[in-house]
Amino acid sequence: MSETKTDGTIIVNVRLFATNKPDLKYLTRFQYKMPDQVKGPTVRLRLNPEVETVGSLKKKVEEARGTHPVEKLRKGGGPLGIVLEPDTATLASVGLTRDHSVWEYVWEDSEAESAKFEEELDTVRGYVHEFLLKHPDMPGAGRQTGEKKTEESTWTKKQRRKRQEMETAVAEYRKEKEKKEAAKRAAKAAKEAKAAEAAKAADATAA
């Protein structure tokens, strides 16, 4: 980042959500490279970090976009970056004190997008665990080398221990995944039951 301008203002780049994401039903974000035409647009603003707050930054981005409000902003280059909060904090207090270069951004995020990211991350982790379970002796940490697979009957103690560790990891992953799915089902059922009760009460009132 370059030094702050003499008038006290800095340039902040905000990368927004893509407006035309591809509909890839069977791939996660980790399995395809997003082409330039589906990357989110960038809003470039000049602000005073000692005066402007996180909330006012969100408002200015919303005004520049002209549509829906910004739920969250992150810094750090990706989905696991640091959330800028609270809205009352000045930009300087959350670390935005110098100009962004053309390669630096603050990223738009939301609860729904964060949940989707975690879901896709769990999916890919599952693929990795399943692969390692099927190929416990794959050289090079799973890279395909063309070497003939070792028969299980000839495995060394180290290979058998590695297999057991992989099976344990897969079992734990599946258990945690089932726990999350059960929680989602319970939450969905509770929401549907609440909606049904509300509809029933509305019908009774109307009658």
* Prediction pTM value: 0.55
Q: Cα dist. 8→2, 14, 48, 126, 183 in Å?
A: 13, 19, 6, 49, 49
Per-residue pLDDT tens digits for 1-10: 444 456 789 9
Q: Is the pLDDT of residue 107 over 80?
A: yes
Per-residue pLDDT tens digits for 142-186: 444 445 555 666 777 877 787 788 778 777 878 888 888 888 888
Confidence band for 39, pLDDT divided at 50, 70 and 90: low
Q: Which domains occur in the chain, in start order?
A: 10-109 (3.10.20.90), 115-206 (no CATH)
What is the per-residue pLDDT for 1?
A: 45
Q: Cβ atoms within 10 A of the Cβ of 49, count?
A: 21
Confidence band for 44, pLDDT divided at 50, 70 and 90: very high
Q: Is 142 left (phi over 0), alpha (psi -120 to 50) or beta?
A: left
